[in-house]
Chain A
Amino acid sequence: DTAVSQTPKYLVTQMGNDKSIKCEQNLGHDTMYWYKQDSKKFLKIMFSYNNKELIINETVPNRFSPKSPDKAHLNLHINSLELGDSAVYFCASSQAGDLETQYFGPGTRLLVL
C-alpha cells in the first residue's frame, strides 16, 4: 500500500485556470507538507499542517490555498495559474516533532501553458 499518494501524477493546463492537487497519507502521521521543486531541483517548503491546523505558511502567493479536511489529507488548490507555477509539487508527511522522518509522495508534475 502506498504510504503517501498524490493525484494527479501529471497536470497540464492553460494559464488562468484553477486546479487542485490531492494528497493522502495512510501512515497515521500528524503533520503534512507541500513542497515545490523547480526545474533546478531546488526544493522549497510551501505549507505545513499539524492536526489540520496550518503551522507553516511560507511566502507563497495567495493564489495557493491548502485545505486539510482531516489529518490524512492535505490538498492544494491553485487559482489563476501562471507560467511560473510550472514545477513538481510534492506532498510529505511526518510524525510531529523534529526528529521524525518525512515521507514523500511521488510528486505531481504541473505544466502551465
Chain B
Amino acid sequence: SQQGEEDPQALSIQEGENATMNCSYKTSINNLQWYRQNSGRGLVHLILIRSNEREKHSGRLRVTLDTSKKSSSLLITASRAADTASYFCAISNSGTYKYIFGTGTRLKVLA
C-alpha cells in the first residue's frame, strides 16, 4: 500500500508543550503535505515540503523530510488548545493528481 502511516495514532499533551507526529510511506514521492482536520470539519492545508527539501517552517510548525527513510515529521511548538485536531500527511507521486492520505494522528492539547 502506498498509504502514509502516522505515528502515534493519538497524542495528548499539555498546553505549551511541543507535539511531534511522524509519517512513514513506502513509495517514491514528489512532495508531501500535512493537513489538519478539526472535529466535524474538512481538511485544511498546513504545509508542503518537496522531495528535494529537508526542512520547512511555517509559524509554529516545522516539517522535516527524510526521503532515504521515507519519513516525515511535523513539530508543533508551544502548543495551544486550539491545535486540538487530527493531523494527516498526504503524499503524491510525480505526474499524478493523486494524493494518498495517511491514517492521521489525533492530537489533544489540554489547557
Decide if B31 touches A107 in the complex (CB within 8 Å): no
Chain B residues close to A by CB (< 8 Å)? 30-31, 33, 35, 37, 40-45, 48, 50, 86, 88, 90, 92, 94-101, 103-104, 106
For the complex of A and B, the 3 pairs showing the least CB-CB separation, nearest first, are A104-B42, A43-B101, A101-B45
B90 to A, closest residue via Cβ? A102
Q: How far is the CA of A92 from the CA of B97 in the complex (A)?
A: 12
- Kindly state whether residue A98 has any CB partner on chain B within 8 Å: yes
- Contact A106:B42 (CB < 8 A) given known A41-B103, A98-B31, A101-B48: yes
Residues of A contacting B: mostly: strand
Residues of B within 8 A of A102 (CB): 33, 35, 43, 45, 90, 99
Write the nearest CB–CB distance from B89 to chain A, whole angstroms. 11
- Kindly state whether residue A56 has any CB partner on chain B within 8 Å: yes
Chain A residues close to B by CB (< 8 Å)? 4, 31, 35, 40-45, 48, 50, 55-56, 90, 92, 94, 96, 98-99, 101-107
Decide if A45 touches B100 in the complex (CB within 8 Å): yes
A58 to B, closest residue via Cβ? B98
- Contact A99:B42 (CB < 8 A) given known A43-B101, A45-B98, A45-B100: no
B46 to A, closest residue via Cβ? A101
A35 to B, closest residue via Cβ? B101
A40 to B, closest residue via Cβ? B103
Decide if A107 touches B42 in the complex (CB within 8 Å): yes
Q: How far is the CA of A78 from the CA of B37 in the complex (A)?
A: 25
Write the nearest CB–CB distance from B30 to chain A, whole angstroms. 5
Q: How far is the CA of A14 from the CA of B37 in the complex (A)?
A: 29
Residues of B within 8 A of A104 (CB): 35, 42-44
Write the nearest CB–CB distance from B15 to chain A, whole angstroms. 24
Of the candidates B30, B42, B99, the one having the most CB atoms from chain A within 10 angstroms of its own CB is B42
Write the nearest CB–CB distance from A7 to chain B, whole angstroms. 14
Residues of B within 8 A of A43 (CB): 43, 88, 101, 104
Q: How far is the CA of A99 from the CA of B100 in the complex (A)?
A: 14
Residues of A within 8 A of B42 (CB): 4, 90, 92, 104-107
